[in-house]
A and B are shown apart, each in its own frame.
Chain A
Amino acid sequence: MDLNLSADERSFRNEFRTWLEANVPRDWPEWREKPLEESFDYLRAWQRKLYEGGWAAVSWPREYGGRSATLMQQAIFWEEMARLEAPPMANALGLGLIGPTIIAYGTEAQKKRFVPKILSAEEIWCQGFSEPNAGSDLASLQTEARLDGGHYVVNGQKVWTSYGWIGDWCELVVRTDPNVPKHKGLTVLLLNMKSPGVEVRPLRQMTGESEFNELFFRDVRVPVDNVLGQVNDGWNVAISTLMHERGSYGARLHLLFKRNINRLIELSRTFKHNGCPAAQNPLVRQKLAQCYAEIEIMRLNQLRAFSRITATGIPGPEGSIQKLFWSELNQRVQQVAQELLGPYGQLAKGDLLAVDNGIWSYGYLRTRGNTIEAGTSEVQRNIIGHFVLGLPRSY
């Protein structure tokens, strides 16, 4: 056990830190709270800059424009990004989930066609997985694709699609064979969002914003060359994407959580409870300390998981464990924020008295979604029960 950085890790960090200090935009705080629609070109330009420096997708293999970074180096990358408060990248799903899936399952032609433009943010990707009647039971999805000559003809509906409004391409899971068990008749298509018959509608969520979209497909034609992986093997391709979704995200989130708890501690020193700084209230101290401890444990769990995956070479159910831990922790932290801020906690962006421009009001509502998106807590517990503990499948 050695938690000091190795020589390689130190030189990776120093190289990126030097690059970042020279290149990170300094005006991000002015853009941070704007709607994504307004800041998207800004984020696209920032990703372009990272791409030109060779830093857009450090985890990807070198031959595809990445740096073949180890998990620890990836953690260092995100730590440095957070340390300098760098903006996120525009093509988040393309870089984090879909690019790696294309690299794993794509033909040479597909890799050549799609991967470079994911990196450069020339083409933005979205993910067409969930449907109104296929949430946790993703494999029961009904969007169908019928073969018609050299094309698949797609009809159906997807929901909870992030980046649908700006997406150029979509990783779409469809049913190509309705006559076999549900996991065995699925196929992944790479769909051009500009194709005739694709309709994108905003989906307004409980926070009031529309991060997500609904997608409707009516006789949309997709060339057979755009099948990713094998026909009717779409379940494995989709699972590979979901593993990425559950795996790497926690490492990045830790840094956000750390910023939140540090800010809450800062607020507790000035925010008054019954005339005294909240930081002197024993109950507030207990709750802040508990959050601080759990956020630290989230980091430690992540590091242990990285070391285990690095040692065994096999990513296991670690992603489910992390996802369950961070999503429920985030709700606890936001609850503590509400208790600290009292009635001010509800004030949203735009109110003159809102604390931190309403991020705590927003965060409280937004974290309700954390235990639902990317696999509900119930599904994560099922995965741990079955795949980690070996309990019989319940469904």
Chain B
Amino acid sequence: MQFGLSDSQLLLKDNARKFFASECPMASVRRLMETGTAYDAALWSKMAEQGYLGIIFPEEYDGAGLGKVDLIVLMEEAGRALLPGPFFSTVALAGAVLSEAATPEQKKRYLAPLCRGEARATVAFLETGASWNPADVRVASANGRLSGEKLFVTDAAAADFLLVVAREGVYVVQTKAAGVSIELMNGLDLTRPQYAVRLSGTPAEQLGNSEGLARGLQVGAAALAAELVGGMQRTLEMTVEYAKTRKQFGKPIGIFQAVQHQCADMYLETESARSAAYYAAWALEENSPDAEAAVSIAKLYASDAGRTVGNRGIQVHGGMGFTWENDVHLYYRRAKASETMLGDATFHRERLARLVIDAHGALAKSA
């Protein structure tokens, strides 16, 4: 039994950290977040060259054929770099859903271009009710055409196609197709904008195996938890660095226990979220019977910890933490948006309760 990264995963992590540091430093993040889409075509093709865009997808679809733990490692580094643009939406959402819900022929047409970096995509799930429960979806198909409104769709303006969750299943909708309107929602996270998408008699192609949606979204939730961990890690690093250098009363503020203990709690929360995210990825990869529970545990913990680590980080930074100039708030904004995405902590606690408390739950062993 070994609960740590393999040599190749450590190498991937190290390379990704260097790649993001050189190709997407904070100056680029700040430039891209002013662009509306936060998408950079040149950065995108470099990520394609690295194999990042097809990391978990089979080689027959031009992917790199690696596992879920490798994805989690990459997402963690992307989160640490606050990578702007549609990487999460394209790979961990749309790619993962295609991988689980599309036919082999559809994967050739839709997944392979994502892996090659030729197209970008995202998943459109939420509606006005803002429920992540599939039973609450109202958008419906009529004669192969979709109508209705989807909200909080990440990166829709950078996407070539959307995977729209409708009552009858999951549909591919080209963003250039007739009857599609995409409008920016003014959210907190400037590095991953969200959009309102309106469909009106829009032509759509149904994916062959829509039951795969749940599993695809579980991969997305584990990836998002890992991305949150990366953001927490960077927030912790910035905060500790600040506590060592900022002086008050003639001393670095990190000498004061009130400050030290905030940092210690940030560390504990970050490490705990990391353990949960890694395990979720492993459980998904192994098809472990507790995979669904593991994903909910990872997301519920990361959702809460992402916020509290940000709260503590801002507090320790003092006045500096409240400025636009300091980067801590950019991570905080991402964490707040990710907190509710794919279900917040309350949603995942209830999902976990169904698995472990309800008598029919898969893990309710003491029943």
Could you say which of A289, A294, A310 contacts B350, with CB atoms under 8 Å apart?
A289
Which listed segment binds B: A28-36, A296-304, A354-362?
A296-304
Q: Are A394 and B255 in contact (CB under 8 A)?
A: yes
Nearest to B296 among chain A residues (CB) is A293
Complex Cα distance, B357 from A1, in Å, reads: 30
Q: Are B297 and A296 in contact (CB under 8 A)?
A: yes
Complex Cα distance, B29 from A239, in Å, reads: 46
Complex Cα distance, B259 from A297, in Å, reads: 25
Complex Cα distance, B363 from A262, in Å, reads: 11
| In the complex, B254 has a CB within 8 A of chain A | yes
Q: Are B268 and A324 in contact (CB under 8 A)?
A: yes
Q: Are B1 and A289 in contact (CB under 8 A)?
A: no
Complex Cα distance, B258 from A52, in Å, reads: 51
Complex Cα distance, B359 from A394, in Å, reads: 51
Q: Are B1 and A300 in contact (CB under 8 A)?
A: no
Q: Are B279 and A389 in contact (CB under 8 A)?
A: no
| In the complex, B278 has a CB within 8 A of chain A | yes
**A265-B357, A269-B359, A384-B264 are known contacts. Are A2 and B2 too (CB-CB below 8 A)?**
yes
Q: Are A389 and B263 in contact (CB under 8 A)?
A: yes
| In the complex, B30 has a CB within 8 A of chain A | no
Q: Are A285 and B366 in contact (CB under 8 A)?
A: no
B residues less than 8 Å from A382 (CB atoms) = 257, 260-261, 264
A residues less than 8 Å from B358 (CB atoms) = 279
Interface residues on B, range: 35 or more
Complex Cα distance, B1 from A9, in Å, reads: 8
Complex Cα distance, B268 from A324, in Å, reads: 9
A residues less than 8 Å from B276 (CB atoms) = 293, 296-297, 300
| In the complex, A61 has a CB within 8 A of chain B | no
B residues less than 8 Å from A268 (CB atoms) = 357
Q: Are B261 and A378 in contact (CB under 8 A)?
A: yes
Q: Are B272 and A393 in contact (CB under 8 A)?
A: no
Which A residues between 12 and 49 are near B, CB-CB below 8 angstroms? Answer: none
Complex Cα distance, B269 from A324, in Å, reads: 11
Nearest CB of B to A356, in Å: 14
Nearest to B359 among chain A residues (CB) is A269
| In the complex, B88 has a CB within 8 A of chain A | no
- Chain A interface, >50% SS class: helix
Complex Cα distance, B264 from A378, in Å, reads: 10
Q: Are A311 and B1 in contact (CB under 8 A)?
A: no
Complex Cα distance, B358 from A138, in Å, reads: 48
| In the complex, B9 has a CB within 8 A of chain A | yes
Q: Are A292 and B352 in contact (CB under 8 A)?
A: yes
| In the complex, B131 has a CB within 8 A of chain A | no
Contact with A along B308-332 (1 / 0, CB 8 A): 0000000000000000000000000
| In the complex, B356 has a CB within 8 A of chain A | yes
| In the complex, A290 has a CB within 8 A of chain B | yes
Complex Cα distance, B359 from A296, in Å, reads: 20
Complex Cα distance, B366 from A254, in Å, reads: 17
Residues of chain B touching chain A, judged by Cβ–Cβ distance below 8 Å, are 1-6, 9, 69, 240, 243-244, 251-252, 254-257, 259-261, 263-265, 267-268, 271-272, 274-276, 278-279, 282, 286, 293-294, 296-297, 300-301, 346, 349-350, 352-353, 356-359, 364-367
Q: Can you give 25 A-B contacts (C-beta < 8 A)? A: A1-B5, A3-B282, A265-B357, A266-B366, A279-B357, A286-B349, A288-B357, A289-B350, A289-B357, A290-B349, A297-B272, A297-B301, A300-B276, A303-B3, A304-B4, A306-B3, A324-B268, A325-B268, A381-B265, A382-B260, A384-B263, A388-B267, A392-B244, A392-B254, A394-B260
- Extra contacts, 19 of them, besides A296-B294, A388-B267 (Cβ < 8 A), are A1-B4, A1-B5, A1-B282, A3-B279, A266-B367, A285-B349, A289-B356, A292-B352, A293-B300, A293-B301, A301-B271, A304-B275, A321-B271, A324-B268, A381-B265, A382-B257, A382-B264, A392-B251, A392-B252
